[in-house]
Amino acid sequence: MIEIPQAYVVYGGAISLFTRKLESALRFYGAPHSLVAKRPQNSDEVEKRSGTHQVPVLHTPEGWMIADTTPLLDLLDSRFPARRMFPAGPLGVLVHVVEEILDEWFARTMVHYRWHYPENTRHVVAAILGRAVSLEEASEFPLAKWGPRACRATGTESEHQQRAVETEYLAMLDALEEQLGDTHYALGDRPTAADAILLGGLRAHTNADPVPDLSSYPRVVAWDEKDADAWNGSGELAPFPQSTPFAEHVLGVGRECYAPFLIGNASALDDGAKAFVVTTYGEEVSYLTRPYPERSRRMIQMRIRDRLDEDERELVVRCLEAHGLGECFLP
C-alpha cells in the first residue's frame, strides 16, 4: 500500500509530456515534490485511486490521487496564490486559451516526432529499459507499436502533415526564441501554465530526443536548462488583451488549425461518430473523435462564465472574437 506522502508526489515518467508539465509547474510553485516512475509495482493502486490509467497522477499530502494537469494547476493555484499559473480575471482566460492550444494541438507534434523517427523511438525504448537497444528491437516494443496508431488518431499519418507539423512547431520555437530575448517567460516576466506545457514538451521530447536538433534555438535551450526553482515569484505578465508576440503567434495557430479541429470534434461527438475529417494545412485529414478536447474547452467556457464579472466578460468576448476563437471558447 502506498503511504500518504509528506510532500507532493508525481506518478508518471520522465519521457511523458504531461508529467514534465506538472513537474515544471510544481517547481514554479516552489512546492516540495518528487517524481516517481509509474511501474507494475505501484500502477494498480495508482490507477484504482485516481480512476485513470493515464499519467501523471498527483499524490497530495492529504492522500488524494488526482489526474489531469489543467484542473490540477487550478487546484494548486488555490494553494500557492502568489505563484498562480492562471492569473485571475480576463488575463487568466487568455493564459488558459494559449495553454489549451499548446496542450491539445501542439502536443500532436510530440507524438509525431517520437514515433515517426526510428532514432527517437530507440532513444525512448532504451530509456524505459535502461539499456541500449537496436532499431529493430525498439520497433517491436509494445509502446512503439502503439505510437503509429496515436499518430494516425491525431492526424499526422501522411507525409504532408508530418512536414506541416514540424514547420508549425519550429515556427512556434522561432516565436519563443524571439520572445525570450524580451521577457523571461512566454507571456511576460513571470511563468504561467503556458510555460509549464512548453517546458514539459522540451524536457520530455524535443530537447531530450535526438530529433529535432534545437541548436539553432540557444535561448530556448538555455531557458529549458535553467533551474526553475530560481524564480523568486516576482515579475509581471504582459497586459490583457495585447499579451506578447509569442501569445499572438499561438492564438493564430489556434484560429487557423485548432479551431476547425475542435469544432469538428464537438460535432462528431454530438453525432456519435468515431472519426471526422477537417482540412488542415490544405489537406483533408481524418481525426479520431475524442471526448477530452471537448471537456477541455468547456473548462475555458466555465472560467469565462463563472469567474468573470459582466465587464470582464465583455472584454474577453471582444478579445476572443478578434482572434477568431469566439465560436470555440465563448459559453
| 31, 7 contact by CB (below 8 A) | yes
> Are 74 and 95 members of one domain?
no
Q: CATH code at 24?
A: 3.40.30.10
Asked if residue 2 is part of any domain, the answer here is: no
> Are 172 and 119 members of one domain?
yes
> Are 43 and 100 members of one domain?
no
Q: Is the confidence at residue 54, as pLDDT, over 90? A: yes
> Are 156 and 261 members of one domain?
yes
> Are 186 and 255 members of one domain?
yes
> Residue 209 has what DSSP assignment?
S
> Are 112 and 77 members of one domain?
no
Q: In the prediction, which pLDDT does 4 show?
A: 74
Q: In the prediction, which pLDDT does 228 show?
A: 60
Q: In the prediction, which pLDDT does 226 show?
A: 86
> Are 209 and 311 members of one domain?
yes
**Residues sharing a CB contact under 8 Å with residue 179, sequence separation 6 or more, in sequence order:** 186, 244, 245, 246
Final residue before a domain boundary, out of 32, 50, 83: 83
Final residue before a domain boundary, out of 67, 83, 99: 83
Cα(107)–Cα(43) distance, rounded to whole angstroms?
24
Rounded to an integer, the average pLDDT of 306-326 is 98
Residue range 109-136, pLDDT digits in tens: 999 999 999 999 999 999 999 999 999 9
Residue range 235-287, pLDDT digits in tens: 999 999 989 999 999 999 999 999 999 999 999 999 999 999 999 999 999 99
The DSSP secondary structure of 38-62, one letter per residue, reads: --HHHHHHHHHHHT-SSS-EEE-TT
Asked if residue 3 is part of any domain, the answer here is: no
Number of domains present in the structure of the chain: 2
> Are 118 and 36 members of one domain?
no
Q: Give the least confident one: 161-170, 221-230, 274-283, 285-294.
A: 221-230
Picking from 296, 304, 250, 251, the residue whose alpha carbon sits closest to that of residue 269 is 296
Instruction: Look up residue 121 and give its three cell numbers.
Output: 523511438
Final residue before a domain boundary, out of 50, 67, 83: 83
Residues linked to residue 287 through DSSP beta bridges, in sequence order: 276
> Are 117 and 49 members of one domain?
no
> Are 176 and 248 members of one domain?
yes
> Are 131 and 224 members of one domain?
yes
Instruction: Look up residue 84 and give its three cell numbers.
Output: 498562480
| 42, 66 contact by CB (below 8 A) | no
Containing structural domain, residue 105: 89-329
Q: In the prediction, which pLDDT does 3 show?
A: 75
pLDDT cut 70: percent of the chain above it: 99
Residue range 65-117, pLDDT digits in tens: 999 999 999 999 999 999 999 999 999 999 999 999 999 999 999 999 999 99
Rounded to an integer, the average pLDDT of 31-37 is 95
Q: In the prediction, which pLDDT does 229 show?
A: 66
